[in-house]
A = this chain, B = another copy of it.
């Protein structure tokens, strides 16, 4: 089980820690997520965690970046509007129902009182996410569903903002109908 050598860390230990952190977060919530507990669950020494991750949020961070991209990569069926609805529904599912989404919510929460974490979250996750969101709008422009003059960034805000709002703030359900109406209204007004 020991890997110890001069050329780098144990991949086994790294994955065990990420998995344990993910599991414990989902099981017990962020408040009860402790480095001590992660170490025990992962069968790893605390020092090994502190050696590679400055804090427990960094562990979650790594877990998030690893998982998120694949879960919410937009489809491309040739019908931008339909793809948009599909993609936003996937995003809603990610935010409300997936393990990675739980990690995202926890990190966003921490980011409220930790500007550095918030910044890192934007750089390493949100930027990529917005790029994926934009792709669909760019295809819509190409198809003529949106005017070339449209401010796509603002439109992204108008599309995903209500989803994040419902998922993180009000907790209202995000139905397909809600998404469909949101998309059609937003595209129409652009």
Contacts and interface: CB of A to CB of B under 8 A. Distances in A.
A105 interface: yes
Interface residues of A, number: 40
Q: Name the residue in A30, A110, A154, A170 with the highest tally of chain B Cβ atoms < 10 Å from its Cβ.
A: A170
A94 to B, nearest CB: 13
A88 B157 CA distance: 15
A126 interface: yes
Contact of A185 (B118, B126, B190): B190
Nearest to A174: B157
Interface of A: 29-31, 105-106, 108-114, 118-119, 122, 126, 130, 154, 157-158, 160-166, 168-172, 178, 181-182, 185-186, 188-190
